[in-house]
Structure 1
Amino acid sequence: MTIKEKLRLRAATVEEFFGTALQDKGIPPQLLEAMEYSLKAGGKRLRPVLCLSFAMMHGAASIDIRSFACAFEFIHTYSLIHDDLPAMDDDDLRRGKPSNHKMFGEAVAILAGDALLTEAFALMAKTSAFIPSKSILKAMIEATKAAGAAGMVGGQTIDMGFTAREGVSLPELRDMHARKTGALITAPCVCGAILAQASTEDIRRAREYGREIGIAFQIVDDILDVVGNEADLGKPVGSDEAQGKSTYPALLGIEESKRLAEERIATALESLSPYRGEHADFLRELAAYIVERVN
C-alpha cells in the first residue's frame, strides 16, 4: 500500500466523524452550510492524522482521542477561510472550489470561521473519559498556543507585514512560518503524545518531528507555488509571487530550497529512531512523502 493510500485510509476516520460533528447543535442553516462547505471540501487531513498517529504509536486508542484530533481540522479550516478573505490573501479558489466568501459572502465566511474555531475547543473538551482530564487540559493548552496570538495568528500577522517588503531575512522567514504553518503541524504531534500519556522524552521527540516536517511542508508548498500545477494545488500557481510574498524559493532558489527541505526531513526521521511498528513506519513514510512531491 502506498503512503497516499495509507494517508487516505487514516483520513477516512476523520471524514466519518465530520459527518455528524456539527449536527443537532441548533446552528442556523446558512451558517452550518458555510461551515460544512469548507470543512468537507477535502484535503489530506494531515493534522488530525498526525495527532491520531502519535497517540496510537504510544498506545492510545484512536476512538478515545478522535474528537481532539479532529478539532485540529476545524482550526485549520477556519484559518483557511479567513486567509482567503480579501483583507488577507484575497484568494478566489481553495482546493479547486470557490473560496468560502465567494460562495457565501464575506460576513458569513468570517462567522463560519469564528464558529469552527469555537467548536474546535468544545470538541477537545469532549475527549473520551478514558483520557485523564489533566492530560486533556495540558493538550488543550498546547493547542491554544499553536493556534493563537504567538502561533498561527501571530504568524499570519507577520506574513502580512512582510508582503511586498524587500530584504526579509532567512531567520525572519523561518520564524514567520514556524508560527503560521509549523505551529499547527507541531501541536497535533505533541498533543497526540500527551493524550497517550507518553514520557517527557517521547513528547520532546514528537515536538521535534512536528517542527521539522512543518518547516519542510512550508518549503515544499513554496516550491510548488512556483513549479506545481493548478489542478494539483487547487489554487492558481504563482499567487505568492503575484502578491509579493516572501518565500523560500524567492530567497534561496529552487534547488537550495529542496536541499533545505530534505535536511529537515532527515532530522524528523532521526527523531523517530527509537520507535518501531506500524504507526512509526507510517510517520516515517509520511515525512518522506512531503519532499517527494517536488522530486
Structure 2
Amino acid sequence: MTTELTVGRAGSAWSALGDLSAFLLDPGRYLTSLAARGDLVEIGFGSWTGYVACHPELTQRILLDDRTFAKGGPLLDKARDIVGNSLITSPRHVHRRQRRLLQPAFHRDHIPRYAAVMTDQAAAVSDSWRDRGNVDVVAEMNAISANVTLRTLFSRRVDEAVVQALVGEIKKFSEGLFLSMVLPAALDRLPVPRLRGFRTARERLRTFTARVVADYRADPSAPQDMLSLLLAARDEGIGVEDSEVIDHVISFIVAGVETTANTLAWALHLVAIHPEVERRLHAEVDDVLTGRPARYPDVANLPLTRCVITETSGSTRRPGW
C-alpha cells in the first residue's frame, strides 16, 4: 500500500441491529455512504460483522492476493448455499481446477459466436424504441443482458416463450440475492415479498437448468454453445458432474445479467449528461457502422465506444469524466 488508510465504522455501536435497518430501508444509499466513513469500514448485521473495502488500492490488493485474502467466512458460506459451489463461491483450493475446466468455454475463438447473439439482441431491443418515447433504461438493459446470457448458454434449444419467462425469474432472483445472503439464517423464511420471489425463482432456475443439462446429455449433437462446452470439459480426464454444471450456470446468470445491465445503464446515463462525449460517440458510431448494428469485427474500430464502457464504473464514483 502506498497510502495510509483510515478505518471507520458504519451505524451506531449501541444499536442491537447495527446497520441492518439502514441497509433494508435503502441498500443503495447505505452502501454508497460507506466510503465517507473510511477506507475500510466495519459493518454489522445483527450478530454478524464484516468489513467493506472502500479504497481502490485496498480493493486491488484483496483481489490480487488470494493467499492472504482467501475467500471464506459466513457471507461466502451463505452464498455457496444459495448459488452452489461455483467459480464465484468456491474456496481457493477448488477454484483453480474449476477455472481450468471452464476456460475453454471462454476461449477467444468462441467470442465471435457469442458476439453475434449480442448483436441480435441489442438490435431487437433498440429497434423497438421510438423517437421521443420514454424508455425504462434499466429494464431494457436487463432484458438485453438476460437474453444474451441465456442464448449464449443454451443456444437455440430454448424457445422465445421460455426465455421471456426466465428473464422474469432472473429479475426476481437478482432482487433478493444480496438480501438473502446478508440476513441471518433464522430470518431466511421471513414472509417478505422479495425473499419469497427470490426463493421461487431460485428453484425454477435450478429445475430448468437441470432439465436442459439432462437433454444435452441425452443428445450429444447439441449445438456448440457454452453449456455444451461445459459438459465436454475435462481436467486430467475427469469431467464435470451435472450438479457442478448447474451451479456454474446459475453463477453465470447471476454474474452476467445484473452487472452488465447496470454498466450499460450507467454508461447511457453518463453519456447523456456529457454532451461533448455524446456528440463524439455518435460521430464514431455513424462513421463506422453507417446505420447498421455493431458486429464483433467492428469493436477494434470503435475506440471511444470501448473507452466509454471501460470508464463507466470508475466515473460513477468521482466528479467529472
- Same-fold call, TM cutoff 0.5: no
- Give the TM-score, by structure 1 length: 0.30
Larger relative contact order, structure 1 or 2 (CA cutoff 8 Å, min sep 6): 1
- Give the TM-score, by structure 2 length: 0.28
